[in-house]
């Protein structure tokens, strides 16, 4: 079956109630038919038996199974948030004396993990410029255990050739980990280009309506088993209720991503020649510096665009204050269009130099284009610019 069909049709075995829609298993624990079965559940990790919802839960398992099918992955683990997925992945596969190579253009909280917390545990990092992929291989050291990248990046929408990075990782024996949150598996499947693990903040487009938090990591079965043990023992597990919301949301992900991309491209084209903007950046605009790579590995341009206001920081804030319909919040991937100002919010912990190094200029505005009628989105942006 096509992944789009699997996102709709894959669900756990029906209960005796013969429900059509997937049920919600809102329980903290599970019972056993005997004391011997209970003992076996704790002594034999190979048994597929539910013990406690921090370990496993049927609703969570269904959500993970769908994401695996959509990404073409062998197995997966769900977490309470996207950052829990990222942090758990780092802590599972990196230890004292290890080194990670990462794109410098990463989400602000990920940057904080690299710069504030990893040094405490003796883990070093090196940043590379996504516009200079030819510099990556020279950064690989004998202790480099992982290469990490977001593509498209948040918020600069930089794109990098995944197949090129995958070849480098195979050559040097490093894990290749891709944050696929902006694209989603409906638009891009990094495993096909050599990724070992793929991470999502399910809070974003996977939910699609800004309702629940969640994260998920999928990839090679042997790696996922190690990650599962980490999550099981440290506790950043996904809520069954959130998993139930998310597994239903995945049924419409392909349709939604097509519409998000259609609207985003229309908005990008309408704004590209606006006199108050220095640039408009969107992966499927021919003016994007990595347009050819985006066309190669993405089925559309996704739902995010950015633009730079000529007036800088003050102009960015004034623009947000002038919006009438579009929401001013730091989430993204919602059915409602959202605008944010990264320099003063999500990436405000970075110095001015660090912001510029990852493409965050003072007047940069990130727009998560929603599912409204496209002209209403354009009209609100244009009036706010005026």
| Tens digits of residue pLDDT in 312-322 | 888 888 999 99
Mean pLDDT of 139-145: 97
**Tens of pLDDT, residues 219-242:** 999 999 999 999 999 999 999 999
Domain with CATH 3.40.640.10 in the chain: 3-252
For the chain, helix, strand, coil in percent to 5 are 40, 15, 40
Q: Who's near 82: CB < 8 A, 6+ residues apart?
A: 181, 199, 200, 201, 202, 203, 204, 213, 214, 215
Which pTM was predicted?
A: 0.94
Find, among 315, 338, 362, 364, the residue nearest to 156 by Cα. 364
pLDDT digits 0-9 by tens, 28-51: 998 988 998 888 888 876 667 888
The mean per-residue pLDDT over the stretch 364-381 comes to: 97
CATH entry 3.30.200.20 includes domain 253-385: no
Segments of the chain assigned to CATH 3.90.1150.10: 253-385
Q: What is the assigned CATH class of domain 3-252? A: alpha beta
Residue 296 in this model has a pLDDT that exceeds 80? yes
Q: How far is the CA of 143 from the CAs of 58, 136, 174, 307, in angstroms?
A: 38, 15, 9, 39
């Amino acid at each position: 079956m096509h992944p789009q069909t699997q996102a709709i049709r894959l669900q756990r075995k029906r209960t005796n109630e013969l429900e059509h829609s997937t049920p919600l298993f809102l329980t903290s624990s599970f019972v056993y038919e005997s004391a011997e079965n209970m003992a076996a559940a704790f002594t034999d990790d190979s048994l597929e038996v539910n013990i406690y919802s921090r370990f496993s839960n049927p609703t969570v398992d269904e959500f993970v199974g769908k994401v695996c099918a959509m990404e073409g992955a062998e197995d997966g683990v769900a977490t309470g948030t996207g950052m829990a997925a990222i942090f758990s992945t780092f802590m599972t596969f990196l230890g004292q004396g290890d080194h990670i190579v990462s794109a410098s253009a990463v989400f602000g909280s990920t940057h904080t993990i690299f710069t504030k917390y990893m040094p405490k545990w003796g883990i070093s990092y090196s940043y590379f410029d996504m516009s200079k992929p030819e510099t990556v291989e020279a950064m690989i050291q004998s202790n480099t255990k992982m290469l990490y990248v977001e593509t498209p990046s948040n918020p600069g929408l930089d794109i990098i050739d995944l197949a090129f990075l995958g070849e480098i990782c195979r050559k040097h024996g490093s894990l290749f980990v891709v944050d696929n949150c902006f694209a989603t598996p409906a638009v891009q499947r990094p495993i096909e280009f050599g990724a070992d693990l793929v991470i999502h903040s399910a809070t974003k487009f996977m939910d699609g309506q800004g309702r629940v938090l969640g994260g998920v990591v999928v990839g090679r079965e042997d790696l996922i088993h190690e990650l599962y043990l980490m999550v099981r023992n440290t506790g950043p597990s996904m809520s069954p209720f959130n998993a139930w919301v998310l597994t239903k949301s995945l049924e419409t992900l392909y349709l939604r991503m097509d519409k998000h991309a259609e609207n985003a491209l229309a908005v990008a084209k309408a704004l590209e020649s606006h006199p108050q903007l220095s640039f408009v950046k969107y992966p499927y605009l021919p003016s994007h510096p990595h347009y050819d790579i985006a066309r190669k590995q993405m089925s559309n341009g996704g739902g995010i665009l950015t633009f730079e206001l000529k007036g800088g920081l003050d102009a960015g804030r004034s623009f947000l204050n002038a919006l009438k319909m579009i929401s001013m919040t730091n989430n993204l991937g919602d059915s409602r269009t959202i605008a944010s100002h990264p320099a003063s919010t999500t990436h405000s912990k970075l110095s001015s130099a660090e912001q510029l190094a990852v493409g965050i200029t003072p007047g940069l505005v990130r727009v998560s284009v929603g599912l409204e009628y496209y002209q209403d989105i354009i009209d609100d942006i244009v009036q706010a610019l005026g």
